[in-house]
Amino acid sequence: GENVEQHPSTLSVQEGDSAVIKCTYSDSASNYFPWYKQELGKGPQLIIDIRSNVGEKKDQRIAVTLNKTAKHFSLHITETQPEDSAVYFCAASRGNGGFKTIFGAGTRLFVKA
C-alpha cells in the first residue's frame, strides 16, 4: 500500500540551531503535504502545508520544501527554541477530500536550552 517514510525518528538540537525533518512518499498522485506539531498529551496541530504546484513555502521560522520528482519533502525549523520541542508528523494526500491522508511515523524533536 501507499506509505510515507519520515526521518529521523528522534532529533536533538541545541537552542538556536536549525532542525530538518525529511519525508518520502510513494503515491505519485499525492499533491497536498501538511506538517503537524503534537505537544505532549495534545492533538496534532497544523503548522504549515504545501501543495504540489509550489516548491517551497515559508512562515517565519518554519519552511517546507517539496521535490515532486524525487517524491520527498522536508520541514526546516530555524533558530530553534525550547518550545519547538514536540513530535512532528508529515503527511501526504491526493487532494480528494482527505480520506486517504497518509501520515509519517513522527519525529520527536528535542531542543536543548
Q: Which residues bind other proteins (CB under 8 A)?
A: 32, 34, 36, 41-46, 49, 89, 93, 95-99, 101, 103-106, 108
Smallest gap, in angstroms, from Cβ of residue 113 to other proteins? Answer: 23
What is the rounded CA–CA span in Å between residue 12 and residue 27? 30
Smallest gap, in angstroms, from Cβ of residue 54 to other proteins? Answer: 15
Contact (CB, 8 A) for 22 and 72: yes
Cβ closest to other proteins, residue 25 vs residue 36: 36
The CA-CA-CA angle for residues 28, 56, 45, to 5°, reads 85
Cβ closest to other proteins, residue 41 vs residue 83: 41
Cβ closest to other proteins, residue 63 vs residue 102: 102
Smallest gap, in angstroms, from Cβ of residue 100 to other proteins? Answer: 9
First and final C-alpha spacing in the chain: 41
**3-state SS, residue 82:** helix
The grid cell for 106 is 513522527
Smallest gap, in angstroms, from Cβ of residue 25 to other proteins? Answer: 14
